[in-house]
Structure 1
Amino acid sequence: MKALVADHELAGQAHQLEHVREQRVDGVATDTLGVLVRKIVGTFVVAEEACGPLSEAKSMAPDALAFGYRISLTMSAVDHAQTVADLNDFVALRNRLVHHFIDQFDLWSTDGCAAAQAHLNESYACIDGHIEQLRRWAHRMEKTRAHVAELMRAPEFADFIVNGRGPDGTIQWAMAGIVGALREATTALAIAGWTRLDDAVAFIIERYPDQTPRKYDCRSWGHVLRESRMFELQYRTNVDDSRVAWFREREANTANHRTT
C-alpha cells in the first residue's frame, strides 16, 4: 500500500524528480493503513474520470518547465463504491485485531481460545484476499511505470521536453530550451526591463552551449527572437553609430507565463 501511494504519481521539474520521489517515500513511511487508504482513494482508485490535479503540481513555480504523471485504476461508480467499502472494511479489521482482539475473547478458557483461533483464521483469509488484490494493483502499476520509463528514454521524448521539438519537427516555442535560456538571461542581466542580446548570448554560451539557433532551424539569435514571438526586439544606436540589439519578453506572454 505504501508503494502504491508513493509511486503512482510524480510531478516536478525534471532535475528534481528523484528528490520528489524520495520525499513521497519518506512521507508515507509512518502512515497507518487508514491514512494510506484515504490517500489512495481519489488518486489511484478513481471512479470514471473523477481525478484531481497532481499533488506536487499545486506547489510548482508557475514559470517552471515540469513533467508529471499519474497512474490510476479507473472503475465504474458502482465498482468504485464497493472497492472503497472493501478497503474501509480492511482498515476496520486491522483496527479490531490490533486494538480490540483481547477484549473480544476470553483467552483464559479453552473455548475462548478456540473461538479466538477460529476468528484469526477467518481474518487471515480476508487479509490474504486484500493482499492479493494489492499485489495485482502494484503489478499493473509497475508495468505502466516501466512503459512510461521506456517512453522517456526515447530521444524524441527528450527532444520534446528539453527543446520543445515535436516528432513532426514543429517547435513549441513556449517549451523550447533556448527560450528558457533567454528568459534566464533576462532575469540575470536586464537593465530597466531590457537585455542586451550580445550579453545574453555570452551568458547562454557559457551555461547552455548546446542551445544554439541552428538547433531550432534559425540563422541567428535575432531570428530566434522573432520566430518564437515570445520577445520584443529593438535596435539602439551607439555613439559610434553602430546598432546594438536589445530584447525583452513580451508583456502579454509574461503574464500568461506566470499564471499558467
Structure 2
Amino acid sequence: MNSSALQKHQREVQRLLGRCMLRLQQYETMIKVLLVNHEITAEIDKLTQAQAQRAEEFATNTLGVLVKKLRGSFLVTGETHSPLPERENADPHVPSLSYKIALQMSAADHAQVAGELDALVSSRNQLVHHFIDQFNLGSIDDCAAAQTHLSEYFARVDGHCNRLQHWATEVNNAMRSMLDAMQTPAFLDLLIDGIEPDGTIHWVMAGIVCALREAATELAIDGWTRLDDAVGFVAERYPAHTPGKYGCRTWKQVLHDSRLFELRYRANGGDSRSAWFKERGG
C-alpha cells in the first residue's frame, strides 16, 4: 500500500469532515438566532434582557432540540398556529410588547420540511458518532467513498443553511414592516393614547388614565384625590389629554366610562360639593 497516497486521502477526508462540522455549527447558530428573534414577550424596558435570556436558554440546546423548537414555534400550519401566551403576574400598568413571526404552510409542506429536518438531525448524529464505523480510513477505497459521502453531505447541509437564511431574511423583513407600522399616527394613537382607528378606547392603556394615576400618586390624601386638583395637574403636564380626545364631555365621564376609578362627593361647606376619586382596588 502506498502510505503517501493513503495519507493524502486521509487528509482530504479530514478536510471535508471539518468543513461539514463547521457548516453544521453555522446552521445551529442560525437556528438559535432565528428562535431568539422571531418571538418575544416582555415589558418594554426589559426587551434586551428578555432577548438575552432567550439566547441563554437556547445556548446549550442540541441540534435535535433546536429543530424540535423550530418546528413547533416558527414552522406552523393553520391547525398548529397558536396565540402568544399571557404573561404571568403581569402588571397592567406597565407597558409591554408581544410579537410572534411564524412561517405558516400547508400540512403537507410542513410534514415534508419536518421530515427533511429530522433527516438532517439523524445524519448529523451519524456523522458525529459513527463516521469511522462507516468508513475504514485505513483503506484508500474507503477514503475515496468517504470523500464522496462528505461532499454530498456538505451540499445537503448547505442547502438547509440557505433555506434557513431565506427564512431569517423573511423574519427581518416582517420585523422591518412591523417597525414601519409602529411609526404611523394610528399606531401611536393606540400605543400612547389607547385609541384604536375605529375610536374604540382601551382605557387600561389610555394616556388620560395614566395621567390621572400620576396625579393621584402625587396629590392623594388618605387614598383619595380631589378631581379639580387632578384636572389642573393633567392640564399643566399633559395638555393633550383632554376628555374630548377620548369621546367624553367631562372628566367625570372619563372616570365613569373607564370603569377604573371610584368617584365620591364630599361637602366643601355650605351647599357645595367636590368630586374625589381613587383607582378601584387601590
Which TM-score applies when normalising by structure 1? 0.79
Over the matched positions of the two proteins, sequence identity in percent amounts to 49
User: Of 67, 70, 89, which residue of structure 2 is paired with 1:40?
Assistant: 70
Which runs of 5 or more residues in structure 2 are unaligned?
Answer: 1-30
Counterpart amino acid of residue 101 in structure 2: I
After TM superposition, the structure 1 = structure 2 runs for residues 127-166 of structure 1, keeping only pairs within 5 Å, are 127-166=157-196
1:58 matched to 2:77? The reply is no
Per the TM alignment, residue 7 of structure 1 is displaced from its structure 2 partner at its CA by 1.1
Corresponding residue for 1:234? 264
Which runs of 5 or more residues in structure 1 are unaligned?
Answer: 255-260
How many residue pairs align between the two structures?
250
Per the TM alignment, residue 20 of structure 1 is displaced from its structure 2 partner at its CA by 2.3
After TM superposition, the structure 1 = structure 2 runs for residues 108-187 of structure 1, keeping only pairs within 5 Å, are 108-183=138-213
Query: Contact 2:260–2:279 (CA<8 Å) still a contact in 1?
Result: yes
Report the CA distance shift for 1:105/1:8 in structure 2 as closer, same or farther (over 3 A).
Answer: same
Per the TM alignment, residue 61 of structure 1 is displaced from its structure 2 partner at its CA by 0.2
Report the CA distance shift for 1:246/1:32 in structure 2 as closer, same or farther (over 3 A).
Answer: same
1:12 matched to 2:42? The reply is yes
* Structure (1 or 2) with the larger CA radius of gyration: 2
Per the TM alignment, residue 163 of structure 1 is displaced from its structure 2 partner at its CA by 0.6
Higher relative contact order (CA 8 A, sep 6+): 2
Between 1:25-34 and 1:160-169, the stretch displaced more is 25-34
Q: Which consecutive segments of 4 or more residues in structure 1 shift more than 6 A? A: 187-193, 202-206
Per the TM alignment, residue 58 of structure 1 is displaced from its structure 2 partner at its CA by 3.4
Write out per-residue CA displacement over residues 25-74 of structure 1, whole angstroms, 9 at most, x where no aligned residue.
Answer: 3432333322211221222101224223425x433605244332211111
Counterpart amino acid of residue 248 in structure 1: K
Which TM-score applies when normalising by structure 2? 0.74
Corresponding residue for 1:24? 54
Between 1:189-198 and 1:77-86, the stretch displaced more is 189-198
Counterpart amino acid of residue 92 in structure 1: S
Between the aligned partners of 2:257 and 2:100, the Cα distance in structure 1 is 34
Between 1:174-183 and 1:148-157, the stretch displaced more is 174-183
Counterpart amino acid of residue 124 in structure 1: F
Between the aligned partners of 1:201 and 1:107, the Cα distance in structure 2 is 84
